[in-house]
Amino acid sequence: VDRATSRLYQPLTMVRSKAGKHAPLSPTSRIADALGAWHVADDASSPSMAGAEEEEADVWPPPGHVPWPPWAEVVVARLRAYLADAPEPAARARRSALLRKFAAKGEAIPGFGAVSAQQVEDALGSVPLQGSGATAGEVDTTAAQQLVALAARLAEAAGGAPDGRALQALQALYNASDPATKKQADDWLTKFQQTPAAWQVADSILSRTDLPIQFRFFAAQTMRTKVQFDFYELPADSYGSLRDSLLNHIDRFRSPELQPIHTMLAIAVADLAIQMDAAWPNAVQQVFERFGQNPDSYATLLEILRMLPEENMNYKLMTDSHKRSSSRERLQQAAAQVVQFLLTLQCPSMHAKKKVMECFLSWLKFTNLQAGDIAQNPLLPECFKNVTEGGELSEIGTDIIIEVLRMSSLDLKFFQPVIQVILSMLPPLRAKLERLLSQGVELALDSDQDGILQICRIYVEVGECLIPLVMEQIRNEEVLMILRVILQCTDLPSQEISSIPFEFWHRLGNEVCRHPETDSKIDQFQGIYMELLSVAIRRCTVNPAEDPFQMDDDLASYRQRLLNLAEDCLGILTPNSALEHVLKSLQDGQRQGVVVQEAHFFCLATVGAKAEVRAESVLWQLIQSLPPLINEAVDDAKPEGVMLHFTKKTAIELLGQLSKWIKTRPEFLRSALEMISSLLMHQAATGSPNQILERVKQVQQSASMAFREICASGKQQLGDLVPHLIQLYVQTMALPIRMHLFIVDGIGSVAAQLKQDDAFRSALEQLVMPLVNGIQSERDKPQVLSEILDRLTTIIRQIQVQAGSVKAINVGTLISNGFWPVARQCLEWHPSDSKVVEKSCRLLKHSMRCVPDLFKPLVPAVAQTLVPAFQTHQHSSYLYSAEILANTYAGDPEIVPVLTSLFHQLSTHALQCLVNKRDHLETISELVEDFYGMFDRYLRYTPMIVLEAPTLQPTLQLWLEVIFVQQKDAIEAVIAFMEAVLALVAEGSKPARGFSDEKRVRYGQLLRPHCLQVGPGLVLAIFKLMAGVPTRYVQDILPSVIEVIRAAFPQEFPLWLEAGLRQLPPQVASPAEQQKLGEQLIRGDDGLVYEAVQDLCYRCEQVTLRSRGSTETTTDGGRR
């Protein structure tokens, strides 16, 4: 039977059952498998791929009932006769099982009608029967051979076997015109790749030369993913045959048009070498023996050799840590042999040379060669030659040079010979750069941007590698030349190239400033950083031919990074020296127009804000020149007018950033406010085009922000302007609310600083009462009410008064007679509007915080409002208001009964809402957030209210559901409460010490039985969450949750953890790897726990992404 089935089952002769046991397929199971019934497991004595039927419930083509064909009756009759002649009970049982399986599956095999009854008779006709002189063994063997042959015909003719269905799906994927059919085929193939049957199908398709390249690429990709993710399905006995099959396949795909398949199979071989571990200890030697004897196979050898070290670092490969580690050791031992082979290899073409260099790059990270060996390696100067000359090998040459530099940076002393060789090879690169730039920057970039990019990368890597050397030998001409080349690259008008050195300048600046005792060092770097600041200004210049108001995100981000670069310069130059330099540069560039002005203004916003205010500074001349510029009329119809308009916007922003300067000159402070006020009141002409309206809007947005900054900075000097400011406040009510809130914020900061009680009260009333009195007329407009509430909140947030003062009494009166009635009325008018509710509660929060003692009489009324409002409309803001009440009045015994009643009523109703929506908690994440936030706040400030609450146990039980809510604020609140509870339990479990907090110990003891009920399920839920790929934020906080569970229940945790690890997909970690990770989680410190959780989450993520992945790829190997 083994010989008869070998053609169908190479290279796999064994499979793993769903129960996880490795067992050979019995003859009956193999035949049933070949007949398309490989998923049936009704014969307990014949191990099969049990469970795969559930995994691959879908069939291809899409299911449509196929009637039992007439010829099948002939098959059944023949099998019954065969069964009747069975020589012994065991054989009879096997044949009976085969018959049941075949009959059960016949209807589900599409296209069986294509096989005629005569074909079936022919297939089974030669089976000898008992009594014809044949032995029982001969009968068994012959019958098996004929049935397997029949299965092959059925699969080929009808597509009923797995490979037939896979071919049909591939045909639909690549050739169907209907997108829905292509999508259905893609989905089916993705699922099929994850079934055990895919091993055999992929092997079968790879063996056929008559199939399209795309089909065979799919098979190679499938084989790679199976080795990568599903190696656990295979028993050890099948490893060798799989290896031999892959090695047989790969060399047949080395031609250029089949390169993607070649690469996929090379990855599969490299992954298999890691997975097999000790079962294939001589992988490198074997591939040398197999493919290193014939030059025609060198391409295959190089491809596999390149992939071996790359795949060792590919953590998408689901393998054990010890296998990866031992593989790395074996690769390091083989590195010398590989490098020697690469050096002696004669390359007949540029393509072959590139393959050699790619392979060398992969092995560089595994070499343990001496520095002298690397320095004398002929590939290194060849790489520099390739970069200098350009061409196909320049990119890979650049990558190799950079990798050598990164290795060298780990130990400059050890790699000094390498560094000396590299430094000696830099001049030709510099000469090439200068030659290119000599024809003009734009022409240079047009003619060889890739070459300039490669030179920039190498020089920046040299600089980063040699930062310690740069620090020591800044006056060395060779070092200065490196810095000048990097500076040239930074100044190129290409965002891609110019951005490469940013991190180098930041690191170098930090290194220089890290040693303040060496002031002489800082002085030595000032010249280069002064030039760098000039470069930053030049690169900030926008293109005058484009509308800067429509600046894309990439350019905006690039300009922001240039500001960061300018800020790096301040540490070396000092802010005041940098300011003088920028001002002189501005003066020198005045004749170049507003484009250059705008770039200087943009940089000055950072530099000037950090500089020390000096009366004699030239900056005052600039500040005084800004109002005329800002007030200058512009013609937006002309490109220069658009640029002037944008420069005005930047000048306004500069004024806001220079507010600490402006406040020192009251006369200018007032004129600046007056100028900005006029801009805020400006309206675009009626009928203006949309682009004009957008420009005016952006300028006014900048003006409103500058207004706030200037008011906040100069609030002590602006008290007498409050009447005028309030007038502006009223006149600008029509501005968009975002702008007007900046104005309110600025005016509120001035009013809040008024010293006279009457003036303070009057200003506050003038700001507040128009809003309070206006709500009646706007009661039917929830959007307008929301904006009124926003303004009131912005005002009250600015107020800070001393308890018991006249100002405090005035504010308390205003809250009682104004803010509280407004909030209550808004809640009554629009109880279902979440925005109105949120902003009403926010106003109450800040009112409460402003004068808590004077707000206290309102607390019962507020509580009486919150409960029925929440019962009617479950807005989470009501729960948050209860949090703030607890935070503010938990220590007041008169208010505690109110808080207790409020908590019980709100928590009861909120809990019921959450339980009712437990299957859709993501849709009410705000309620989850504030529900657990309320529990956390009450536990912190009034713990007995929580501990005695009837909702405590079900709230803890709900942890098992809410842990899956991924919205950041919600899960943050859930985990904060978890950690608070479990920390108390841990404290209550520790041996009593003299310095223990007796109350906290008692709270922990009260919580322990509740948490003990929840703990096992919570650990299971956490591991289910990992398997489902949580957000990055959740992945980062899960380790702390696991640690606090471990601390609270040290005895129980190992058993809970064992059950939790069983929740993970089998692809994620083998039993040995689970044990290793489990040890880390049980005994490791916080670093090891974090590492283990991150490892598990990453593995689960890769398994999930693989399940979601599409099989429709180009044949360029891109879906690696």
What secondary structure does DSSP assign to 513-575, as a single string? HT-TT-HHHHHHHHHHHHHHHHHHHHHTPPPTTS-GGG--HHHHHHHHHHHHHHHHHHHHH-H
- Rounded to two decimals, the pTM is 0.81
Give 1054-1103 pLDDT, tens digit per residue.
Answer: 999 999 999 999 999 999 999 999 999 999 999 999 999 999 999 999 99
Give 384-393 pLDDT, tens digit per residue.
Answer: 999 999 999 9
pLDDT band at 49 (very low <50, low <70, confident <90, very high): very low
Indicate if the pLDDT at residue 130 is higher than 70. Answer: no
Output the pLDDT for position 311: 96
Give 222-244 pLDDT, tens digit per residue.
Answer: 999 999 999 999 999 999 999 99
Across the range 254-278, mean pLDDT stands at: 95
Phi then psi for residue 89, to 5 deg, are -55, -40
**Inter-residue contact 26 to 90 (CB < 8 Å):** no
Q: How far is the C-alpha of 492 from the C-alpha of 356, rounded, in Å?
A: 33
Indicate if the pLDDT at residue 763 is higher than 50. Answer: yes
Indicate if the pLDDT at residue 113 is higher than 60. Answer: no
Percentage, residues of the chain above pLDDT 70: 83
**Alpha-carbon Rg for the chain in angstroms:** 38
Phi then psi for residue 314, to 5 deg, are -90, 105
**Inter-residue contact 47 to 29 (CB < 8 Å):** yes
Residues forming a β-bridge with 14: 24
Phi then psi for residue 14, to 5 deg, are -140, 150
Give 451-509 pLDDT, tens digit per residue.
Answer: 999 999 999 999 999 999 998 888 889 999 999 999 999 999 999 999 999 999 999 99
Element (DSSP H or E) covering residue 14: strand 14-16
Give 525-572 pLDDT, tens digit per residue.
Answer: 899 999 999 999 999 999 988 999 999 999 999 999 999 999 999 989
Q: Which residue type occupies 312?
A: N
pLDDT band at 93 (very low <50, low <70, confident <90, very high): low
pLDDT band at 80 (very low <50, low <70, confident <90, very high): low
Q: How far is the C-alpha of 25 from the C-alpha of 907, rounded, in Å?
A: 58
Q: How far is the C-alpha of 152 from the C-alpha of 155, rounded, in Å?
A: 5
Residues 6+ apart with CB under 8 A from 1106: 194, 225, 229
Q: How many CB atoms lie within 10 A of CB 36?
A: 28
Give 330-350 pLDDT, tens digit per residue.
Answer: 999 999 899 999 998 888 889
Angle between helices 394-409 and 416-424 (to 10 degrees): 140
Q: How far is the C-alpha of 390 from the C-alpha of 402, rounded, in Å?
A: 16
Give 912-930 pLDDT, tens digit per residue.
Answer: 999 999 999 999 999 999 9
Give 499-531 pLDDT, tens digit per residue.
Answer: 999 999 999 999 988 876 556 667 888 999 999
What secondary structure does DSSP assign to 984-1037, as a single string? HHHHHHSPP-TTS-HHHHHHHHHHHHHHHHHHHHHHHHHHHHHHT---HHHHHH
Give 135-189 pLDDT, tens digit per residue.
Answer: 555 555 555 555 545 544 444 444 445 677 889 899 999 988 889 989 999 999 9
* Helix residue ranges per DSSP H, 106-135: 117-124
Output the pLDDT for position 858: 97
Residue 739, CA distances (Å) to 37, 415, 704, 796 in order: 70, 59, 6, 18
Across the range 666-687, mean pLDDT stands at: 89
**Inter-residue contact 48 to 33 (CB < 8 Å):** yes
pLDDT band at 367 (very low <50, low <70, confident <90, very high): confident
pLDDT band at 115 (very low <50, low <70, confident <90, very high): very low
pLDDT band at 676 (very low <50, low <70, confident <90, very high): very high
Output the pLDDT for position 36: 36
Residues 6+ apart with CB under 8 A from 757: 806, 807, 810
Output the pLDDT for position 63: 47
Output the pLDDT for position 134: 52
Chain centre distance of CA 40: 41
Give 776-835 pLDDT, tens digit per residue.
Answer: 889 999 999 999 999 999 999 999 999 999 999 999 999 999 999 999 999 999 999 999
Indicate if the pLDDT at residue 592 is higher than 80. Answer: yes
Q: How far is the C-alpha of 264 from the C-alpha of 284, rounded, in Å?
A: 18
Element (DSSP H or E) covering residue 308: helix 298-312
Across the range 667-693, mean pLDDT stands at: 89
How many CA atoms lie less than 13 Å away from 677 in the CB half-sphere? 20
Token couple for 1102 = 């890769």
pLDDT band at 125 (very low <50, low <70, confident <90, very high): low
Q: How far is the C-alpha of 33 from the C-alpha of 676, rounded, in Å?
A: 82
Token couple for 506 = 């930041």
Q: How far is the C-alpha of 196 from the C-alpha of 53, rounded, in Å?
A: 10
pLDDT band at 45 (very low <50, low <70, confident <90, very high): very low
Q: Of 310, 321, 331, which is closest to residue 275 (Cα–Cα)?
A: 321
pLDDT band at 667 (very low <50, low <70, confident <90, very high): confident
Token couple for 1008 = 């322990």
Q: How far is the C-alpha of 645 from the C-alpha of 629, rounded, in Å?
A: 10
